[in-house]
């Protein structure tokens, strides 16, 4: 998977490649789909949600520029796979999910795989996690109409926020917001297709 889908497409961040080699992706999908776990596409995880394509996880992680020991907020735990990749890089991960069965299943996986540095919360992630703010990195793995204001408020300086944003619900632009010296700059990293970010500051 890493050689054919990620390395070959130009992702060279060694820490990201190492994490993608290490995390057992088949344990983050239903048993019936385990034979497809390492294939080059997203997979359903129930409740109308998906685990992203491996390449998209690697690309999002690379553009987030995560370093060991950083405090990272993820919105949209889903299967827990992206959070596990961030934890494998050595980040302190805070991840929020709004669908209870997904939240519960992800928690079980984190315990089973001994990812004790991942903290989970069942809530509307468009509100962020104010009690734990600020965060050096924020990653949103669902697509909303705009950048939720609370997330930008909870981003430290310096800090990076990566989020798919689009007014058309079928696809989004992947934005990277970088805060430095009190200023926030925006970069468009390309088109992506994520499930809806649902909530007070989402759809
Ligand atoms: N990062 C996940 C991808 C899951 S898909 C993984 O690695 O598997 C996106 C997830 O975002 C879904 O589980 C969906 O329920 C969740 N989501 C959507 N809106 C949300 C919100 N406002 N707060 C928290 N989670 C949300």
For residue 25, the model assigns a pLDDT of: 98
Question: Of residues 8, 52, 156, 185, which has the active-site annotation?
Answer: 52
Q: Residue with the nearest Cα to atom 4 of ligand 1?
A: 78
Q: Is 52 among the domain residues?
A: yes
Is 191 noted as a catalytic residue in this protein?
Answer: no
Q: Does residue 203 form part of some domain?
A: no
pLDDT mean across residues, the chain:
97
**143 within some domain:** yes
25 Cβ below 6 A of ligand 1: no
Whichever domain contains 179, its CATH number is 3.40.50.150
Q: Per the domain annotation, does 170 fall within a domain?
A: yes
Task: Please indicate, yes or no, if residue 199 is contained in any of the structural domains.
Answer: no
- Taking the CB of residue 175, how many other CB atoms lie within 10 A of it? 18
Q: What pLDDT score does 125 carry? A: 98
DSSP β-ladder status, 92-97 and 118-122: parallel
Whether the CB of 122 sits within 6 Å of ligand 1: no
* Predicted TM-score of the model (pTM): 0.98
Separation of 174 CA from ligand 1 center, angstroms? 16
Ligand 1 in reach of 199 Cβ (< 6 A) = yes
In a domain, 201, yes or no: no
Within a domain: 133: yes
CA-to-CA dists, residue 161 to 29, 114, 148, 198, angstroms: 27, 27, 11, 18
Rounded Cα gap, residues 97 and 133, in angstroms: 17
Question: In this structure, are residues 74 and 94 in contact, taking their beta carbons and an 8 Å threshold?
Answer: yes
Q: Determine if ligand 1 sits within 6 Å of the CB of residue 172.
A: no
In a domain, 202, yes or no: no
- For 110, the domain range is 2-192
For 14-54, write each residue's pLDDT tens digit: 999 999 999 999 999 999 999 999 999 999 999 999 999 99
Q: How many domains does the chain have?
A: 1
Please write the tens of the pLDDT for every residue from 96-132: 999 999 999 999 999 999 999 999 999 999 999 999 9
pLDDT digit string (tens) for 72-82?
999 999 999 99
Interval 166-192 mean pLDDT: 96
Residue with CA nearest ligand 1 atom 14: 76
Q: What is the pLDDT of residues 131-152, one digit of tens each?
A: 999 999 999 999 999 999 999 9
Please count the other Cβ atoms lying within 10 Å of the Cβ belonging to residue 95: 29
């Amino acid at each position: 998977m890493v050689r054919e889908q990620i390395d070959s497409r130009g992702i060279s961040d060694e820490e990201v490649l190492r994490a993608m080699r290490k995390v057992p992706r088949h344990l983050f999908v239903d048993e019936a789909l385990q034979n497809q776990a390492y294939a080059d596409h997203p997979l359903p995880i129930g409740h109308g949600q998906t685990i992203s394509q491996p390449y998209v996880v690697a690309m999002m992680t690379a553009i987030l520029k995560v370093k060991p020991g950083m405090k990272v907020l993820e919105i949209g735990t889903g299967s827990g796979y992206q959070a596990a990749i961030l934890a494998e890089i050595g980040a302190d991960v805070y991840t929020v999910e709004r669908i209870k069965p997904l939240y519960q299943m992800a928690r079980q996986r984190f315990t089973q795989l001994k990812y004790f540095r991942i903290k989970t919360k069942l809530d509307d992630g468009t509100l962020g996690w104010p009690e734990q703010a600020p965060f050096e990195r924020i990653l949103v793995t669902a697509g909303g109409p705009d950048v939720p204001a609370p997330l930008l408020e909870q981003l430290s300086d310096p800090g990076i926020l990566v989020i798919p944003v689009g007014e058309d619900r079928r696809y989004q632009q992947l934005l990277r917001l970088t805060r430095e010296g009190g200023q926030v700059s925006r970069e468009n990293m390309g088109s992506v297709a994520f499930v809806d970010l649902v909530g007070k500051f989402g759809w």
